A and B are shown apart, each in its own frame.
Chain A
Amino acid sequence: MSECIVITSGKGGVGKTTTTANLGVALARSGAKVAVVDADIGLRNLDVILGLENRIVYDLVHVIEGECRLKQALIRDKRAEGLYLLPAAQTRDKNAVTPAQMRELVRQMKEEFDFVLMDCPAGIEQGFKNAIAGADRAIIVTTPEVSAIRDADRIIGMVEAAELPEPELIINRVRPRMVASGDMMNKEDILEILAIPLLGLVPDHEDVIVTANRGMPAAFDDESIVGEAYRRIARRVKGEKDVPELVLDHDTSFWATLKRWMGLAPTREVAG
Chain B
Amino acid sequence: MRELFKNIFGTKPKQSKDDAKQRLKFLLIHDQVDLTPGQLEQMKAEIMEVIARYVEIEGDHGTEFKLAREDGHVALVSSIPVRRVVERAAS
A-B pair number, CB within 8 angstroms:
55
Interface string of B1-37 (1 = CB under 8 A from A): 0000001111010011110110111011001100000
- Identify which of B18, B20, B72 contacts A194 (C-beta below 8 A): B72
Contact of A153 with B by CB under 8 A: yes
Known: A195-B72, A196-B72, A255-B7. A183 touches B17 (CB 8 A): yes
B28 CB → nearest A CB, Å:
5
CB distance from A220 to the nearest CB of B (A): 34
Among B12, B21, B31, which residue has its beta carbon within 8 angstroms of that of A154?
B31
Task: Determine the chain B residues whose CB is within 8 A of the CB of A69 once the complex forms.
Answer: none
Chain A interface extent, by class: 20 to 34
Contact flags (1/0) for A129-165 with B, using CB distance below 8 Å?
Answer: 0000000000000000110011001101100000000
Say yes or no for A182: interface residue by CB 8 A criterion: yes
Chain A residues lying within 8 Å of B71, measured Cβ to Cβ, are 195
Question: Contacts A153-B31, A189-B17: A259 and B24 contacting too (C-beta < 8 A)?
Answer: no
Asked whether B31 lies within 8 Å of A182 as measured between CB atoms, the reply is no
Are B15 and A150 in contact, CB atoms less than 8 angstroms apart?
Answer: no
Evaluate contact between B24 and A182: CB separation under 8 angstroms: no
Chain B residue numbers with a CB within 8 Å of A154 are: 31
Residue among B10, B15, B72 facing the most chain A CB atoms (10 A cut-off): B72
Task: Tell whether, in the assembled complex, residue B72 and residue A183 are in contact, meaning their CB atoms are under 8 Å apart.
Answer: no
CA distance A184 to B19 in the complex (A): 10
Q: Tell me how far the C-beta of B25 lies from the nearest C-beta in chain A, rounded to whole angstroms.
A: 7
List residues 18-32 of chain A with CB under 8 A from any CB of chain B: none
Task: Point out residues on A near B: beta carbons under 8 Å.
Answer: 145-146, 149-150, 153-154, 156-157, 179, 181-186, 189, 193-196, 255, 258-259, 264-265
**Additional 8 contacts, C-beta under 8 A, given A182-B17, A194-B72, A259-B10:** A146-B24, A149-B24, A183-B16, A185-B21, A193-B25, A195-B72, A259-B7, A259-B8
The 7 A-B residue pairs whose C-beta atoms are closest, nearest first, are A182-B15, A195-B72, A264-B10, A195-B71, A185-B17, A183-B16, A146-B20
